[in-house]
Structure 1
Amino acid sequence: MSRKIEVVPYNPAWPHLFEEEKACLKQALPDELVVSVVHIGSTSVPRLAAKPIIDICLIVEDIAELDKYQEVMAEIGYESWGAYGLPGRRYFPKGGDQRSHHIHAYQFDNLSEIGRHIAFRDFLRNHREIASTYGEIKQTAAAAYPEDIESYGDYKDEFVKKVEKEALKWLWLNK
């Protein structure tokens, strides 16, 4: 059974929901493993329409060490889906059919993946018109493909890749 793809207006509660989950993760995992817990994705961009799922970048000291904590992650509601198509990542969705959170975990030195997520987020936070366009694209994609997550992603792909490139350049130009 496929889940309906829903893109909703920005919810000011999303940052608070992230902070609650960050605290939960930091309590569940050892301090020596967790380097940082970062809010990423559309719910981290004020005023941006999004699927109401909190995306989290969990940055760890050693990605192989994180694999030893699958039972702990399950205890706090996360399924372990392994790399899920991206070498060097560990992916953990929470909420089953009522998905509420996604964790994208990376080892601290996976700069390309971590940097891509953070640059995209910060670029959208600083370029409202581009964020607005992205929100419209997501709403159009959700309306066109309400139960087809692959087509939804494909519809956004060209725009996302273009903006990611701009975001990475912007990041370096503003350092």
Structure 2
Amino acid sequence: MSIKVDFFKVEVVPHDPNWRSAFETESKLIALALRENVVAIHHIGSTAIPQIHAKPIIDMLVEVKDILKIDTQSSEMEALGYQAMGEFGISGRRYFRKDRTHHIHSFEVGSPQIERHLAFRDYMITHSEAAQEYSELKRKLAEKYPDNIEAYMDEKDGFIKAMDLKAAKWRASH
């Protein structure tokens, strides 16, 4: 199934140490907006992995008690500048985006997607050689597909799936 992605230039930049504080600032606003439904907010994606290139978009994983309640909290998220995108291709997710600066992936506690995202992030942080390989792949793909985010994402997919498997095995052994 293909998801329609709005056009924008694929930009991959060196790691910015300010991404962490940008996450912390935004996560506090999200916690206030979603109140008691929030269980945890995690910084995920490439901006959460030190020393690698990334699209300058802060990805956040928001664990919630009730995913359906998120649907009734969309106006609170819209007040923060987010656009509600529904599941956006992943069953059980509620996806929000804010300009080209922040993406929120909300999942209900217990979703296997939570563990997948956190294992990938933690594996990359712990295995710098894999992180640098990912960084270089992202840089090359951004050069190859500067105007085609779908091709950029498609070509990263095999690497990400392979790392997901390694990350899951690594996580299970720890």
Normalising by structure 2, we get a TM-score of 0.95
Give the counterpart of 2:49 among 27, 35, 45. Answer: 45
**Aligned-partner SS, 1:135:** helix
The structural deviation recorded for 1:36 is 0.5
> 2:145 matched to which residue of 1?
145
**Aligned-partner SS, 1:38:** strand
> 1:14 matched to which residue of 2?
19
> 1:85 matched to which residue of 2?
89
**Aligned-partner SS, 1:30:** helix
State the AA in 2 paired with 1:108. Answer: V
Matched, 1:136 2:133: no
Matched, 1:57 2:61: yes
The runs of 4+ residues in structure 1 deviating greater than 3 Å are none
> 2:164 matched to which residue of 1?
164
Percent sequence identity over matched residues? 43
> 2:154 matched to which residue of 1?
154
**Aligned-partner SS, 2:39:** strand
> C-alpha separation between the residues in 2 aligned to 1:7 and 1:141?
9
Q: Unaligned stretches of 5+ in structure 1?
A: none
Q: Unaligned stretches of 5+ in structure 2?
A: 1-5
The structural deviation recorded for 1:123 is 0.2
> C-alpha separation between the residues in 1 aligned to 2:133 and 2:110?
32
State the AA in 2 paired with 1:53. Answer: I
Aligned length: 169
**Aligned-partner SS, 2:164:** helix
**Aligned-partner SS, 2:73:** helix
The structural deviation recorded for 1:149 is 1.1
State the AA in 1 paired with 2:48. Answer: S
> C-alpha separation between the residues in 1 aligned to 2:53 and 2:148?
19
Normalising by structure 1, we get a TM-score of 0.95
State the AA in 1 paired with 2:8. Answer: R
Q: Spell out, residue by residue over 1:84-123, the C-alpha distance to the aligned partner (whole angstroms, 9 max, x if none).
A: 011100010101xxx000000000121x100110000000
Query: What is the root-mean-square deviation in Å for CA atoms of aligned residues?
Result: 0.8
Give the counterpart of 1:28 among 28, 33, 36. Answer: 33
> 2:105 matched to which residue of 1?
104
The structural deviation recorded for 1:2 is 2.1
**Aligned-partner SS, 2:88:** coil
> C-alpha separation between the residues in 2 aligned to 1:60 and 1:131?
29
> C-alpha separation between the residues in 2 aligned to 1:80 and 1:23?
19
> C-alpha separation between the residues in 1 aligned to 2:75 and 2:147?
31
> C-alpha separation between the residues in 1 aligned to 2:158 and 2:70?
32
